[in-house]
Amino acid sequence: MEQQFRSAVREVLTILLDEAIDPADRVKRAADILLGLPIPVSPDITHETRIEEHSPILYLAGPDGLPTHIEYIPDPEEGPLSEEEVAIMLREQLKG
């Protein structure tokens, strides 16, 4: 397994460093190789480990429109944010 991983990493690095290939094609080929690798699992793991999805942290905008250090927490009267509202806020944060 370790040898297969090392071989894949070498191949990916060779692809990514080959300037004769279109950059988008290099990334796609490299990603295909890495995503095709098996996921190593330790034999002493006896229980399933859950990875919880965390919602992105949203921040209030300051007077300049940029995110502040104050985390946005909706008022109980507002109810939870819709997926569309979260997407809009994330887009605005990324623009800032």
Give the pLDDT band (50/70/90) at residue 77.
confident
**Are 37 and 30 a contacting pair, CB within 8 Å?**
no
Strand partners, 67: 61
Residue type at 32?
A: D
**Domains in the chain, number:** 1
- Residue that has been written with the tokens 């988008």 in this structure: 24
93 occurs within a structural domain: no
Kindly report the backbone phi and psi dihedral angles of residue 26, in degrees, each rounded to the nearest multiple of 5, phi listed first. -60, -45
**Sign of the alpha-carbon dihedral angle for 37, 43, 44, 50:** positive
Count the neighbouring beta carbons within 10 Å of the beta carbon of residue 33: 15
58: in domain: no
Share of the chain above pLDDT 90, in %: 5
Note whether residue 36 is domain-resident: yes
Would you say residue 57 lies in a domain? no
Query: In the structure, what pLDDT confidence band is assigned to residue 76 with cuts at 50, 70 and 90?
Result: confident
pLDDT in tens, 16-52: 898 898 988 989 998 888 888 877 666 665 555 555 5
Residue 10 sits in which domain range?
1-40
Q: Does any domain span residue 6?
A: yes
Residue 55: pLDDT band by 50, 70, 90 thresholds?
low
Q: Is residue 79 part of a domain?
A: no
